[in-house]
Amino acid sequence: MAQTPETSQVMSASDLDRALTRIAHEIVESHRGVEGLVLLGIPRRGVPLARRLGERLARIDPRFSPEDAVGSLDITLHRDDLRTAAARTPEPTRVPSTGVDGTTVVLVDDVLYSGRTVRAALDALSALGRPATVRLAVMVDRGHRELPIRADHVGKNLPTSRDERVSVVLSAVDEVAAEDEGVLIERGRA
């Protein structure tokens, strides 16, 4: 995504990498290790962020296995805007081999805004089992909550107006990006 006068970059690709590394260290510290830890990415951009976070956790503590403890959680059928929003194709839910019962699940997403996506993720997660604890890691918290939800781990707090759109551009998801571009704000495109 090319920058225009209405678009500005607030985090570079290297800023994203540093934020993910910091979040990984925060997770290990708050969880007191990696035992019983599961990461579930919320499609679309939360899934590659969860994978990258899992790789960093494995570097911090080799007992963490991204192959066994990182998955994805589709929330499509749990959204509260199904009747009013454009149809979305469900993406696969992949639960790690350990399951979620009794674990600490870290939900991973790109941008926390109203909180409705996270509410849908909590509903989808409860259909899979009963974790001991659920935490939330996001790359950007832009405010404007409509539900009482907050992130436990945040890459960047970014106060925005409602008429701005925040995009985390990742090469793994965005065809327009040959490599990660970072976090962009587009004004007038909420």
Domain that holds residue 127: 13-160
pLDDT at 179 exceeding the cut of 80 = no
Q: Is 169 part of any domain?
A: no
Instruction: Examine residue 167 and state whether it is found in any structural domain, yes or no.
Output: no
pLDDT in tens, 23-64: 999 999 999 999 999 999 999 899 999 999 999 999 999 999
In a domain, 186, yes or no: no
Residue 144 domain-assigned (yes or no): yes
What pLDDT, on the 0 to 100 scale, is given for residue 83? 67
Residues 84-138: pLDDT tens digits? 766 677 888 999 988 999 999 999 999 999 999 999 999 999 999 999 999 999 9
Contact predicate 134/152, CB 8 Å: no
Least confident of 35-49, 70-84, 170-184: 170-184
Higher-confidence position of 98 and 12: 12
Confidence of residue 79 (pLDDT cuts 50, 70, 90): confident
Non-local CB neighbours of 127 within 8 Å, separated by 6+ positions: 78
Cα–Cα distance for residue pair 68/175, rounded to 1 Å: 28
> CATH number for the domain including 134?
3.40.50.2020
| The pLDDT value given to residue 1 | 47
Helices (H) and strands (E) in the chain, counts: 4, 8
Residue 38 lies in a domain: yes
State the pLDDT at residue 6: 85
In whole angstroms, give the CA distance from residue 183 to residue 16: 8
Q: What is the pLDDT of residue 72?
A: 97
Residue closest to 106 by CA, chosen among 77, 64, 142: 64
Q: Which tokens go with 190? A: 């909420």
Count of structural domains within the chain: 1
